[in-house]
């Protein structure tokens, strides 16, 4: 799965470069996120600006990352496309994740 990662202000920024986070890429995505956490990244910002669609598998990978981080860190989301934002609200995960309109707002 294609993604960019960069560290800013002690926060790992993960930007999937796929249009879809679905069953096709979810296992690899989940494994990559788990690896980042095992490497000591406890504060992660997931920039979803390129992601137009997320299914239950993709959503499960994101939630699994939050569980892997535990109480010692946080997983924030930013730049959600309208369909992804609707899914997050429909599943009430907007109550679980801190969601920001853009990367700059999430970092500050």
What's the CATH number where 93 sits? 3.30.750.24
| Residue-number span of the structural domain to which 88 is assigned | 3-107
**Span 9-62, pLDDT tens digits:** 999 999 999 999 999 999 999 999 999 999 999 999 999 999 999 999 999 999
Q: How many CB atoms lie within 10 A of CB 29?
A: 24
Is 45 exposed, middle or buried, given 0-12, 13-18 or 19+ CB atoms closer than 10 A? buried
Question: How many domains does one find in the chain?
Answer: 1
Provide the whole-model pTM: 0.94
Alpha helices, DSSP H only, in 1-108? 23-38, 56-69, 82-90, 103-107
**Span 64-107, pLDDT tens digits:** 999 999 998 999 999 999 999 999 999 999 999 999 999 999 99
């Amino acid at each position: 799965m294609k993604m960019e990662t960069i560290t800013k202000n002690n926060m790992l920024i993960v930007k999937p470069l796929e249009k879809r986070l679905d069953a096709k890429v979810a296992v690899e995505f989940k494994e990559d996120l788990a690896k980042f956490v095992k490497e000591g990244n406890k504060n992660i910002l997931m920039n979803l600006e390129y992601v137009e669609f997320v299914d239950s598998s993709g959503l499960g990978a994101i939630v699994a990352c939050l569980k892997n981080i535990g109480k010692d860190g946080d997983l924030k989301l930013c730049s959600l496309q309208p369909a992804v934002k609707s899914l997050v609200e429909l599943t009430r995960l907007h109550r679980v994740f801190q969601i920001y309109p853009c990367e700059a707002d999430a970092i500050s």
